[in-house]
Amino acid sequence: YQAGFVVLDAERKIARVVFQGTTVDFAEIEGNSLEEDLWRRDFTINAIAYNPFNDEVIDLFNALKDLQDGTIRMVKSANLRDDPLRLLRAYRQAAQLGFVISPETQTVIREFAPLLTNVAAERVQTELGYLLSHPQGMVWIEKAWKDGLLSSYFPTAGENWEIAKQVDIVAEELGKNWSQLKDELARGVRDTVKTSLLAIAKLAILVNSDPEKAEVELMGLKYSNAEIRSTMAVIKGLAKLSEIEISQMSVRQQFFLFQEIGKNFPALAVVGVGKGISITEIDCLIQRYINPEDQVAHPTPLLNGNDLITVLKLPKSPIIGQLLTEIKIARAEGKISTKVEAIQLAEKLIQIKNEEGRGNKY
Read off the pLDDT of each residue in 45-53 and give the average, rounded to a whole number: 93
What is the model's pLDDT at position 10? 84
Read off the pLDDT of each residue in 163-174 and give the average, rounded to a whole number: 95
334 pLDDT above the threshold of 60 = yes
Read off the pLDDT of each residue in 7-31 and give the average, rounded to a whole number: 85
Rounded-to-integer distance, Cα 91 and Cα 75, Å? 16
Read off the pLDDT of each residue in 75-101 and give the average, rounded to a whole number: 98
What is the model's pLDDT at position 287? 98
Residues 6+ apart with CB under 8 A from 153: 124, 217, 220, 221
Rounded-to-integer distance, Cα 150 and Cα 128, Å? 9
Residues paired with 71 in a beta bridge: 100
Q: Name the H helices within 99-224.
A: 103-112, 121-132, 137-146, 161-164, 167-177, 179-186, 197-206, 211-220
Phi-psi region of 13 (alpha: psi -120 to 50; beta: other; left: phi over 0): left
**R_g over Cα of the chain:** 27
What is the model's pLDDT at position 293? 97
Among 258, 205, 197, which Cα is nearest to 230's?
197
**Sorting pLDDT into bands at 50, 70 and 90, what band is 96?**
very high
What is the model's pLDDT at position 151? 96
Exposure pattern of 156-167 as b/e (b: 16+ CB <10 Å)?
ebeebbebbbbb
Residue 160 is given by DSSP the state G
What is the model's pLDDT at position 193? 85
362 pLDDT above the threshold of 60 = no
154 pLDDT above the threshold of 70 = yes
Read off the pLDDT of each residue in 215-219 and give the average, rounded to a whole number: 98
Rounded-to-integer distance, Cα 286 and Cα 238, Å? 15
Rounded-to-integer distance, Cα 239 and Cα 298, Å? 21
Residues 6+ apart with CB under 8 A from 304: 324
How do residues 26-38 score in pLDDT, each as one tens digit? 888 888 899 999 9
- Top pLDDT among 25 and 78 is at 78
What is the model's pLDDT at position 347? 95
357 pLDDT above the threshold of 80 = no
* Ranges of each domain in the chain: 62-153, 159-298, 305-356
Cβ(94)–Cβ(74) under 8 Å? no
Among 230, 214, 239, 295, which Cα is nearest to 262's?
230
What is the model's pLDDT at position 192? 82
C-alpha angle 271/272/276, rounded to 5°?
A: 110
Rounded-to-integer distance, Cα 312 and Cα 306, Å? 10
71 pLDDT above the threshold of 60 = yes
The helix (H) or strand (E) run that includes residue 251 is helix 251-261
C-alpha angle 351/356/362, rounded to 5°?
A: 60
Residues paired with 51 in a beta bridge: 56
What class, spelled out in words, does domain 62-153 have in CATH?
mainly alpha
What is the model's pLDDT at position 358? 57
What is the model's pLDDT at position 284? 97
Q: Name the H helices within 15-84.
A: 34-39, 63-69, 77-82
Rounded-to-integer distance, Cα 230 and Cα 234, Å? 6
Mean pLDDT lowest for which of 25-39, 120-134, 225-239, 285-299?
Answer: 25-39
Rounded-to-integer distance, Cα 45 and Cα 57, Å? 13
Cβ(187)–Cβ(175) under 8 Å? no
